[in-house]
A and B are shown apart, each in its own frame.
With several copies, the nearest count.
Chain A
Amino acid sequence: MSERPDLSVKVGSLTFPTPILVASGTFGYGTESPELTGARELGGIVTKTLTIEPRRGNAPIRLHETPAGLLNSIGLQNVGVQRFRDEKLPKLRELGVPIVASIGGKAPEDFVQAAEHLRDVPGIAALEINVSCPNVKEGGIEFCQRPDSAAAVIRAVRDVATVPLWAKLSPNVSHIGEVGRVCRDAGAEALTAVNTFVGMSVDPRTRQPHLPGGTGGLSGPAIRPLALAKVWETVRVTGAPVVGCGGIATAEDALQFLVVGARAVQVGTVSFRIPDAARRIRQGIEEFLSREGLPGIESLIGTYQPPQ
Chain B
Amino acid sequence: MTSVPQSAPARVVSNRRLNPEIHELVLRLPAEWGPPEPGQFVQVECLPANPFILKRPFSIARSRLGDLGMELHLVYGAIGPGTEALTRRRPGEMLDVIGPLGHGFRPVPGRRPVLIGGGRGVAPMIALADGLAPNYEDGILIFGARGSAQLYELEEVPYPVTIATDDGSVGFHGNVIQLLEQLRGRGELRPEENALYSCGPNPMLHALSDWAGEHGFPCQVSLETIFGCGFGICAGCAVPVHAAEGEESDEFGHYRFACVEGPVFEGHRVDWEGVKE
Contacts and interface: CB of A to CB of B under 8 A. Distances in A.
Contacts of A115: none
A220 B52 contact: yes
A273 B226 contact: no
Interface in A113-160: none
A35 B230 CA distance: 15
A245 B241 CA distance: 34
Q: How extensive is the interface on chain B, given as a class?
A: 35 or more
Contacts of A59: 238, 240, 274
A63 B51 CA distance: 18
A271 to B, nearest CB: 6
A220 to B, nearest CB: 6
B7 A276 contact: yes
Which of B52, B251, B276 has most A Cβ within 10 Å?
A: B52
Contacts of B275: 60
Interface string B203-244: 000000000000000000000011111111111111110000
B55 A273 contact: yes
Contacts of A221: 52
B94 to A, nearest CB: 14
A78 to B, nearest CB: 8
Contacts, number: 118
Interface string A73-116: 01001010001000000000000000000000000000000000
Which of A32, A74, A83, A271 has most B Cβ within 10 Å?
A: A32
B178 interface: no
Interface in B33-56: 45, 51-55
A69 B53 CA distance: 8
A133 B255 CA distance: 20
Nearest to A77: B235
A192 to B, nearest CB: 19
Nearest to A79: B251
B248 to A, nearest CB: 11
Interface in B19-71: 45, 51-55
A276 B54 CA distance: 14
Contact of B7 (A54, A72, A274): A274
B240 A32 contact: no
Q: How extensive is the interface on chain A, given as a class?
A: 35 or more
A48 B235 contact: yes
B253 A272 contact: no
Nearest to B45: A273
A24 to B, nearest CB: 11
Interface string A267-288: 0001111111000000000000
A236 interface: no
Contacts of B6: 35-36
A57 interface: yes
Contacts of A56: 249, 252-255
A72 B229 CA distance: 13
Given A35-B4, A63-B228, A272 B255 contact: no
Contacts of B237: 60, 62
Nearest to A69: B52
B49 to A, nearest CB: 10
Given A272-B228, A276-B7, A77 B234 contact: no
A77 B252 contact: yes
Nearest to B253: A56
Contact of A60 (B52, B230, B231, B240): B240
A63 B236 CA distance: 6
B174 interface: no
Given A63-B234, A221-B52, A275-B231, A54 B226 contact: no
A25 interface: yes
B52 A273 contact: yes
B253 A54 contact: yes
A41 to B, nearest CB: 14
B233 A60 contact: no
A303 to B, nearest CB: 21
Given A35-B4, A48-B235, A63-B228, 5 more contacts: A32-B233, A33-B231, A36-B6, A60-B237, A60-B239
Interface of A: 25-28, 32-33, 35-37, 48, 54-65, 67-70, 72, 74, 77, 79, 83, 220-222, 249, 270-276
Interface of B: 4-7, 45, 51-55, 96, 98, 225-240, 249, 251-255, 260, 274-276
**A-B pairs with the 7 shortest C-beta distances?**
A56-B253, A28-B233, A272-B229, A32-B232, A63-B236, A68-B52, A221-B52
10 contacts: A32-B260, A56-B254, A57-B235, A59-B274, A61-B226, A63-B236, A68-B51, A69-B52, A83-B251, A274-B7
